[in-house]
Amino acid sequence: MTGSDFTPRVFSGIQPSGGLTLGNYLGALKRFVDMQDAATHECIYCMVDLHAVTVWQDPVALKASTREAAAAFMAAGIDPARSILFNQSQVPQHAQLAWVFNCVARMGWMGRMTQWKDKAGKNTENASLGLFAYPALMAADILVYHATHVPVGDDQKQHLELTRDIAAKFNHDFGVDFFPITEPVIEGPATRVMSLRDGTKKMSKSDPSDMSRINMSDDADTIAQKFRKARTDPEPLPDSYEGLKDRPEARNLVDIYAALSGRSTEDIMNEVAGWQWGQFKPHLAEAAVATLAPITDEMTRFMNDPAEIDRILGEGAGRAEEIAAPILTRTYDIMGMVASR
């Protein structure tokens, strides 16, 4: 059975491990909104707090970041009446199915995950068991809703492949066609926005340097300053996108500008060929502010009413659980566990 035999359903999530970045916006949030607005799929979006705690999170900061992320989702255009919006820890079936998948996935599969290697670094002895098992929880997040499509940034491609492997192994081991083989949706001009300090590293909310990223909560002056200080090289902009091949920082800024302005990179190169960075960077900052300022204002408005955010997340969790609970019960049943009370 493939994804096409199931109800078209989208699931995706963002870790509330800090304030969301322009990378999260362009690579994920903006596309979540597009999929909601296309109205071809039921959409389920989640603040994945159980993933966030695979590395240390200050409890007060985690609560604030979860509400801030929810505000960012809604400010960017997620409508909780049309999409289901909630935080992961409120729906217990995520963790319950993750345990099942911990028993389906193989140690070797998990050990090959590049995110595990990157985040655990050399000191794997000291990394949490949760960080190692992270991809099994991600598979559970998706499959507990029988989601058929998952919009993500490029960095999540390997985890999505593992989700497909887990679904296929479960179906094969138990002789069923129960879990869909989910399709990743990795498309658009900004599937990997890079750090402003190092064009070979992904822009990340947990990078120690705040100058490496644009936060969705940054004001216009901060955005202009971060782009002004963004690392580049001494050469002017070339007349073709090809000319950016070995210039990662330069290419990143052009990619960001193309994504923000909704234009092709070829079109952008026609406009900016021969420009110096002193001319291009203010232009880029202006485009970023034009996109982000209305969203940031709306985020502030939502964040002024945390009780309302909590109410929306609670309501979303109830709707999510209505879908997840029977799928978990059926999973237990397939495995021979007595699930009814």
| C-beta closer to ligand AQP: residue 3 or 199 | 199
Please identify which of the residues 30, 205, 226, 281 carries the catalytic annotation.
205
Report how far apart, in Å, the C-alpha atoms of 166 and of each of 52, 274, 298 are: 22, 50, 39
Binding of residue 310 to ligand AQP (CB under 6 A): no
From the CB of 55, what's the least distance to ligand AQP, in Å? 8
Given a contact cutoff of 8 angstroms between Cβ atoms, the answer to whether 159 and 169 are in contact is no
Whether residue 157 lies in the annotated active site: no
Whether residue 30 lies in the annotated active site: no
Please identify which of the residues 30, 63, 117, 119 carries the catalytic annotation.
119
Report how far apart, in Å, the C-alpha atoms of 46 and of each of 19, 82, 98, 176, 233 are: 15, 14, 16, 28, 39
DSSP 143-206: HTTT-SEEE--GGGHHHHHHHHHHHHHHHHHHT---S--PEEE--STTSSPBPSS-TTSB--TT
- Give 251-304 as a 3 state SS string: HHHHHHHHHHHCCCHHHHHHHHCCCCHHHHHHHHHHHHHHHHHHHHHHHHHHHC
Beta-bridge mates of residue 87:
47
From the CB of 234, what's the least distance to ligand AQP, in Å? 25
| Size of residue set near ligand AQP by CB under 6 A | 21
Per DSSP, the three-state class of 84 is strand
Give me the residue label for tokens 């990143």. Answer: 252
One character per residue 178-207, x = contact with ligand AQP (rule: CB under 6 A)? ------------xxxx--------xxxxx-
From candidates 3, 19, 23, 180, binder to ligand AQP by CB under 6 A: 23
From the CB of 52, what's the least distance to ligand AQP, in Å? 7
DSSP state of 25: I
Binding of residue 31 to ligand AQP (CB under 6 A): no
- Return phi, psi of residue 123, to 5°: -95, 60
| C-beta closer to ligand AQP: residue 154 or 238 | 154
Binding of residue 85 to ligand AQP (CB under 6 A): no
Binding of residue 259 to ligand AQP (CB under 6 A): no
Site for ligand AQP in 38-67 (CB under 6 A): none
One character per residue 134-153, x = contact with ligand AQP (rule: CB under 6 A)? ------------------xx
| C-beta closer to ligand AQP: residue 170 or 227 | 227
Which residues participate in catalysis according to the annotation?
A: 119, 202, 205
The residues that touch ligand AQP, with contacts defined as CB under 6 A, are 14-15, 17, 21, 23-24, 27-28, 152-153, 155-156, 190-193, 202-206
